[in-house]
Structure 1
Amino acid sequence: MSSALDAAGITDPRLRAAYLLCRRINARHGKTYYLATRLLAPCQRPAVHALYGFARWADDVVDHAGGHPDERAARLDAVSRELFAGLDRGHSDHPVIAAVLDTARRYGIRRSLFEDFLRSMRMDLTVTEYPDRRALDVYVRGSAEAIGLEMLPVLGTVCDEEDAAPHAAALGKAFQLTNFLRDVAEDLDLGRVYLPADELAAFGVDRDLLLWCRQHGRTDPRVRAALADQHATTRAIYRFARDGIPLLHPLSRPCIGTALVLYSEILDQIEASDFAVFAHRARVGHLRRARVATAGLVQVLRLRSRARGARHLPAATRRWA
């Protein structure tokens, strides 16, 4: 990691320690995501770790910090106050926030994206289900699309960033919807359903039936049909997101392509299990992840070799190579 910090020009010892903490959070909690980040240029990785570290920290305050909902709300409000005060004054003493503030400054990440994200985190404190797709999209806008848009200036584009933005947002959304399908049982344990109620009702499914499936560890045929419908919706979003990969800087494409393949293969596993999401958690095996990552690494090495041999390169490309 020290070489990545050097490549990114991060020299302050406390800031380096902050980024190292975010890297550890990413490596511990987001294994597929972390594996894909290894395919980025070293100078990009600290920023990605910082964005992940902040998102994970805030999410844990909501879901895993324990205590009464009012206590969790107070802790989330404290996170929000510290972040936005830090954005105003340019620094924070909290290491995770210090790293994300530095990343936001370096890459010009919009304040509104952090506002959207924290708004969705607050929804998790009180909202337990979503009546329709429109309501769910409000949540996903902050919980997932905002993350994709925060990442975009770090990844770089070969076009106007606005042209790539819808695809970046869609990739974040596709990842989130994949999580919703994979984690139906775990989300029920937290009292939440992240699947549109009206779309479930079209197949005769409601919360009680989902709870029955959770209790018995098997998928009722009506639930299977409803999940297959959600699966198809998510697949379509992946297809749109994939169209945005050629719009990214060439040296960023293997990372995002690898993440897309690995996450979309979770959908493959869900489908192959006949939507047995109440019996086990779908995952991509270690060997398959290694193979996909290796293929991505081969692409990276080829691209860096070409970049070194090119005469006329943007400054960022020369630095990344």
Structure 2
Amino acid sequence: MSRRELQAAGITDPALCRAYTTCRELNARHGRTYFLATRLLARARRPAVHALYGFARYVDDLVDEPGPEATAEAVGGRIDEAERQLAEGMTTGRSDYPVVAALVHTVDRYEIDPALFSAFLRSMRMDLDVREYPTRADLEQYTYGSARVIGLQMLPVLGTVVDRTEAAPPAAALGEAFQLTNFLRDVAEDLDRDRVYLPVDELVAFGVDRDRLFWCRERGRADTAVRRAVADQVATTRAIYRQAVPGVAMLRPEARPCISTALALYSGILDRIEAMDHDVFAGRARVGTARKARVAAPALVRAVWARHRTHHPVEEGHQR
């Protein structure tokens, strides 16, 4: 199936095919919900989404899975090297590093702003020494580069029926909503890395501090104060999803089922957190296979219908 995607996208160079296949494998292995939604896109657009995910995952793993011996300085050096590889690739139009090669090709093809990747790398560096965020404004400095730019990177690939500047705010909001959902789902895992991605002042309003979170982590269950704080964070995240919803209709019709499915499945994680009485320490909130099928099946029908209505034999952009 990957070969059919590459053929549909007009990608024939063997090295590029291998590069895109590497990114696709990263997406399939680590971004299961995201990968499922990507399957609803027209085949020609899927490789670009895999490339964007693959590079983001590659750098994210440098930070979150550095190995037992790695120091912050060493990880910072790896991020610097990834940035050097990307800059060199943007200049030469090629790279010997698969995820960079696929990304460079995608950036060129869809004319994605390279500054979005610089912002992403800045946020990844923040993870090396920032352990908590005093306010929502502080957290937003991080989520701009780690999440909002992801939505902005996706826009040229998905295509819009309005001016892209109009579609940009909801696209950025959706990227942020996805990440805030992950933060809520992964509170326990992030604590294990000595990180808290929930604004300190908003937690304190409910009598929650870092020590209390660690205490709940050790017990394996959240107390009343933590559950109330989490409920407040869920409400805030839902408000950001509402900002993102109008953006779906701004996309090209054949891209809408993919994004509406991703939105439904990711916001479904919040449903699961609520069903757990906001106890994010009792277990990892997951959207079950049955619900994924219920959401994805009608979206697949809409996607196929939209593709037949708006058929593009070869996608726009530089073909290689």
Q: TM-score, normalized by length of structure 2?
A: 0.96
SS in structure 2 opposite 1:44? helix
CA distance in structure 2 between the partners assigned to 1:27 and 1:88 by the alignment: 29
Displacement of 1:306 = 3.0
CA distance in structure 1 between the partners assigned to 2:194 and 2:74 by the alignment: 18
CA distance in structure 1 between the partners assigned to 2:48 and 2:211 by the alignment: 42
SS in structure 1 opposite 2:310? helix
Whichever residue aligns with residue 200 of structure 2, its letter is A
Determine the structure 2 residue equivalent to 1:306. 309
SS in structure 2 opposite 1:116? helix
Determine the structure 1 residue equivalent to 2:65. 64
Displacement of 1:301 = 1.9
CA distance in structure 1 between the partners assigned to 2:313 and 2:38 by the alignment: 22
Determine the structure 2 residue equivalent to 1:32. 33
Displacement of 1:290 = 1.6
Determine the structure 1 residue equivalent to 2:286. 283
Q: Is it true that 1:244 corresponds to 2:243 in the alignment?
A: no
Q: Is it true that 1:4 corresponds to 2:13 in the alignment?
A: no
> Which one of 86, 92, 100 corresponds to residue 97 of structure 1?
100
Determine the structure 2 residue equivalent to 1:138. 141
Determine the structure 1 residue equivalent to 2:21. 20
Determine the structure 2 residue equivalent to 1:210. 213
CA distance in structure 1 between the partners assigned to 2:3 and 2:315 by the alignment: 20
- Aligned residue pairs total 313
Does structure 1 conserve the Cα–Cα contact (< 8 Å) formed by 2:10 and 2:314? Answer: no
Q: CA-to-partner distance for each residue in 1:151-194, whole Å, 9 max, x for gaps?
A: 00000000000000000000000000000101000000001000
CA distance in structure 2 between the partners assigned to 1:315 and 1:37 by the alignment: 18
Determine the structure 1 residue equivalent to 2:155. 152
Q: How is 1:94-243 mapped onto 2 (pairs within 5 angstroms)?
A: 94-243=97-246
Displacement of 1:233 = 0.4
Q: How is 1:248-259 mapped onto 2 (pairs within 5 angstroms)?
A: 248-259=251-262
CA distance in structure 1 between the partners assigned to 2:231 and 2:304 by the alignment: 38
Displacement of 1:212 = 0.4
Whichever residue aligns with residue 259 of structure 2, its letter is I
CA distance in structure 2 between the partners assigned to 1:98 and 1:118 by the alignment: 17
Gaps spanning 5+ residues in structure 1: where?
A: none
SS in structure 2 opposite 1:154? helix
Displacement of 1:304 = 2.5
Displacement of 1:288 = 1.1
CA distance in structure 1 between the partners assigned to 2:292 and 2:187 by the alignment: 23
SS in structure 1 opposite 2:274? helix
Gaps spanning 5+ residues in structure 2: where?
A: none
CA distance in structure 2 between the partners assigned to 1:211 and 1:275 by the alignment: 16
CA distance in structure 2 between the partners assigned to 1:145 and 1:31 by the alignment: 20
CA distance in structure 1 between the partners assigned to 2:64 and 2:92 by the alignment: 29
CA distance in structure 1 between the partners assigned to 2:189 and 2:314 by the alignment: 46
CA distance in structure 2 between the partners assigned to 1:138 and 1:38 by the alignment: 31
CA distance in structure 1 between the partners assigned to 2:71 and 2:117 by the alignment: 25
Q: CA-to-partner distance for each residue in 1:263-312, whole Å, 9 max, x for gaps?
A: 0000000011001111100000111112211111011122233336xxxx
SS in structure 2 opposite 1:125? coil
CA distance in structure 2 between the partners assigned to 1:254 and 1:188 by the alignment: 35
- C-alpha RMSD of matched pairs (Å): 1.3
CA distance in structure 2 between the partners assigned to 1:46 and 1:29 by the alignment: 16
CA distance in structure 1 between the partners assigned to 2:23 and 2:305 by the alignment: 29
CA distance in structure 2 between the partners assigned to 1:316 and 1:10 by the alignment: 11
Determine the structure 2 residue equivalent to 1:84. 87
Determine the structure 2 residue equivalent to 1:262. 265
Q: Which moved more, 1:77-86 or 1:43-52?
A: 77-86
CA distance in structure 1 between the partners assigned to 2:132 and 2:87 by the alignment: 29
Q: CA-to-partner distance for each residue in 1:6-62, whole Å, 9 max, x for gaps?
A: 111111000000000000000000000000000000000000000000000000001
Percent identity of paired positions between Structure 1 and Structure 2: 61
**Which of 1 and 2 has higher RCO (CA within 8 Å, sep 6+)?**
2
